[in-house]
Amino acid sequence: MTNEEFYKDKIFDAVAKNLAISKDGEIATCKAITCENCIFKNNIETESCIKKMALWLKQEYVEQVDWSKVKVDTPIYVRDCETDSNGDENSETTPSSACQFELARYLKDEMEGLNLSDIVLDNMCYLYGKLPATSGYENVPAIGFIAHMDTVSDYCNHDITPVITENFNGESLTLPAGITLSVHDFPHLSTLKGRTIITSDGSTVLGADDKAGIAEILTMIEHLQKNNIPHGTICVAFTPDEEIGRGAEHFNIEQFGAQYAYTIDGDTEGEIQYENFNACKADFHIKGFNVHPGSAKDTMINASLVAMEINNALPAMETPRGTEDYEGFYHLVSMSGDVSEASLNYIVRDHDKNLFEAKKNTLRLIEKNMNEKWGKGTVTLTIKDQYKNMSEIIAGCMNLIENAKKACELADITPLILPIRGGTDGCQLSFKGLPCPNLGTGGHAYHGPYEHITVEGMDMTVAMLVKLVGTFTE
């Protein structure tokens, strides 16, 4: 059923007087709703509101959710998602974007409402708090749970609109913006049949990475309190700027107070991850020599063509699309240029330390060869290490992994021991003295408009976290 069919009785009169829809879903005339409060104003700015309106009328109607029937963690999560908190990689401040402080202040209020102690929101936007140990359990090791507040900046240029589909049929799902979450691209969708699935409207990310982790940690605290479950000291932290690789940069381990911790920042519920990529950024800057093309014989050096030559010198299949599991890659993130100057910006990843160093040496060899061919100073390579594989740290405290596996089994979830094809705050914190594996949130397809998660997956993660706390009291 389309929006036009569902709302036909309500919009008949409004169409003649110009149709508007408020952000809370009420239909009225343009005179009754200001442009700033109309959903047609806040979508893709290059389209006129008339075009947006026509598109909306033909889209599938999405049923509104009765929040009284949805479990407690989901409203918290959706409110978090609606809060803009994307990081800015080009900023030199911490946090990289002021909007992260807005979410931090909101979460501080939530933590105060849960009567956590030692709540601190510092001037770098790191938020800490503690749930004191149950009487008699003060000597149980303090464990921590960490999630990050920022989202990626891609697909995040306007407000996020969460869309809830109850009793999902397990088939391809067309989102309001017109894109389709297809079973062909995401075969696991069939396993989500019967669940309540949360997506964006398809024009932005959803923000499950990592606002789902935030909601799950807070809900786990609430479950421990309401059910009088005994526990040691539980330390909580919400961090800024994880998505731009700076989330652990100013993390105060002493303030946090935990002996061990887990980041709640993975994908499928039941994921347990302690092997991440070694990672670096690699930037090529190419300086060309520009002369009139009519007299350029043996003189012109076209920087853009040299850039293409550099990329073609890399192994063609060692890209994200061509690799999986423990296999590393070179990923061209962005490129720009003309005849005079060009740049190539890569991230380089590999789980194996030796293979990672070999990849960096390949880049250095390309720089050397290009300068020998085109002249000294034509190509400049800058490599910046980002993080290392935390497996060498976690190897000394595998009880963290065994406890997580046991917690999954107690919560009737299949444990999934998988390598992280990326990084988390936990890998950097592990090398700073806080061993910190990563656990799944129940989310899928992060960093793009196809991002989705289910209420049931989040509930299962919360159940697993509650059981995990219990394993440390045994």
Question: Catalytic residues, which ones?
Answer: 150, 242
- Rounded to whole angstroms, how far apart are CA atoms 336 and 327? 28
- Rounded to whole angstroms, how far apart are CA atoms 163 and 161? 6
- Sorted by sequence, the CB contacts under 8 Å of residue 350 that are 6+ apart come out as 277, 278, 327, 328, 329, 356, 359
| DSSP string computed for 417-473 | E--BSS--HHHHHHHTT----EEE-SEESTTSTT-EEEHHHHHHHHHHHHHHHHHTT
- Rounded to whole angstroms, how far apart are CA atoms 445 and 447? 7
- Rounded to whole angstroms, how far apart are CA atoms 387 and 244? 12
Contact 71, 53 (CB under 8 A): no
Label residues 393-418 b or e (16+ Cβ within 10 Å = b). Answer: bbeeeeebbebbbbbbeebebebbeb
SS3 389: coil
Q: Which of 451, 388, 383 is nearest to 423 (CA)?
A: 388
Nearest-5° Cα angle at 337, 331 to 343: 40
Contact 87, 153 (CB under 8 A): yes
Going by the DSSP 8-state scheme, the letter that residue 227 receives in this structure is T
Contact 13, 20 (CB under 8 A): no
